[in-house]
Amino acid sequence: MTGSNDYKVELEVFEGPLDLLLYLIKKDEVDIYNIPIELITAQYMEYLNLMELLDLDIAGEFIVMAATLMMIKSRMLLPVEDRPELDDEDGIDPRWELVRQLVEYKRFKDLAGRLQVCEDVQSNVFSSGGTHIVLDAEEPGVVLQDVTLFDLISAFRDVLRTVRPDEPQEIKADQYTVEQQLHAILETMQTARRAHFKSLFRPQAHRMEVICTFLALLELIRQRRVFVRQDAHFEEIMIEFVEQEPVLVPEPAAATAVASDSVTEEQLQGS
């Protein structure tokens, strides 16, 4: 990819294929026990293609899930009497094993979320004893506030659909780079402090510029230089600038050396 070959974004937290399926099911408001497999498969492949376009580190399980969805889709096209027998108790609906995995995974994920809430509450409880409480400096721990990677990819997809296609005579080598767009976003955020996701992309932007801008945003999220927030599921995504603490620069060694030499000369004159 021109302009981004030298810049590979690696996110610390990358959700798996079951997370993507649950995201699509929730986004489309469909019944998890009656998944429209053709629709979900098409959307899953679209997101997978977007992740490959962005050169994200896609685990092999995403490819395995894509193959599973295609297999289920092909079985659903067969008449009931011609479908191969499955291991599930019905032996009819090819979706059942996938539904079972999704329901079980969602149950564990919801439980983990409740445990996280309990941990957050407990972390603000302090036992009695001692004269005072010393709190550590607060760090920007969570950079995705109620926003998943798939929310970002979905917003990126919407922007990508609005760009005009690059014409061959307009393509120039290294016209856009992730590093350039990273600095451009930082300049914008340092002034605005808060901005809508879509405002980071110029109207009539080229496809390569949109891709590089999105990769730059992912890198800034990874570096904890911006927060990503969403007031409600599937609503507008907001980007917020994170203040960086000033770095204390130590005194130059040369100055210390000069001071030491002065003291030595005074001591010599005194002697």
User: How much is the pLDDT for 18?
Assistant: 92
CB–CB of 117/219 below 8 Å? no
Q: pTM for the whole thing?
A: 0.70
Residues 6+ apart with CB under 8 A from 135: none
CATH topology of domain 144-246: Arc Repressor Mutant, subunit A (1.10.10)
239-265, pLDDT tens digit by residue?
999 887 655 555 555 544 544 454 454
- Provide CB contacts within 8 A for 39, sequence distance 6+: 28, 30
pLDDT-derived band at 2, boundaries 50, 70, 90: very low
The crossing angle, in degrees rounded to 10, of helices 207-222 and 149-162 is 160
Looking from the CA of 145 toward its CB, the CA atoms found within 13 Å total 15
pLDDT confidence tier of residue 271, bands split at 50, 70 and 90: very low
Tell me whether strands 237-241 and 194-196 are parallel, antiparallel or unpaired: antiparallel
φ, ψ for residue 181, nearest 5 deg: -70, -30
Cα gap 2→216, rounded to integer Å: 14
| The pair of three-digit structure tokens given for residue 41, joined into one six-digit string | 């498969």
> What is the token pair recorded at 158?
């919407």
Q: What is the pLDDT of residue 60?
A: 83
Q: Which of 158, 147, 106 is nearest to 233 (CA)?
A: 147
pLDDT at 154: 92
pLDDT at 156: 93
Q: Give the pLDDT score at 248.
A: 55
Residue ranges per structural domain of the chain: 13-122, 144-246
Q: What is the mean pLDDT of the chain?
A: 76
pLDDT band at 4 (very low <50, low <70, confident <90, very high): very low
Q: Which backbone phi and psi does 41 adopt, to 5 degrees?
A: -65, -45
Mean pLDDT, rounded, for 180-204: 91
Residue pair 216/178 in contact (Cβ under 8 Å)? The answer is yes
* Residue pLDDT, tens place only, 141-188: 434 556 888 999 999 999 998 886 666 555 554 578 899 999 999 999
CA 42, chain centre distance (Å): 22
